[in-house]
Structure 1
């Protein structure tokens, strides 16, 4: 898996991109980096990572099985990051607007979301859609 291109769209290998964040959450130094790693978490149906990177106040604790089941049931196509606001190394919050394309029920579907992220104790967390 070391040479496989990362599904997040950076052009890097998975090994040199989102895998680092999946294994070491604190390595996501920006909100966008965390958002990209969460998209890849959906691509690989990594329920543990998706919950770990979701802020405790908004984390869907009891839906892990449903999230994993759904993530496995669709074919992920690509991620387009449209805009970021704040969410840099020195920030404590930020926004990332994106489109995640997937194939479901014989049609291309898209999730278009502006996500809010919070950094606590040096780690970024997905808080929710705004």
Structure 2
């Protein structure tokens, strides 16, 4: 695995969520997910990983929100790790955030949608 300590600079990472979940996090002052409770971390993706993540894990959704995150503003530990299951040394490592996401680390939010769950996710990720 690769550890990116809080406060270090790195290319932005993304988190896929709903507007409702993000609004709740902003109200509480920090964003948490069910996976933080059950697995100990919040799932994140790089820009390149996000389309595959959407098509694998968000098959039933038509409207979501991408959180664009500046890793240098994170307080919780960010670790790049291979996904659970069989993998090799060349397997893509995914960013996992071991703690709540501080609201200030989110530098941009991007609503995304598709017409139907029968359509694959195909999005242009903002570079704002």
Instruction: Give your verdict on TM over 0.5.
Output: no
Structure with the higher strand share, 1 or 2: 1
TM-score (norm 1): 0.26
Q: Which has the higher contact order (CA 8 A, sep 6+)?
A: 2
TM-score (norm 2): 0.26
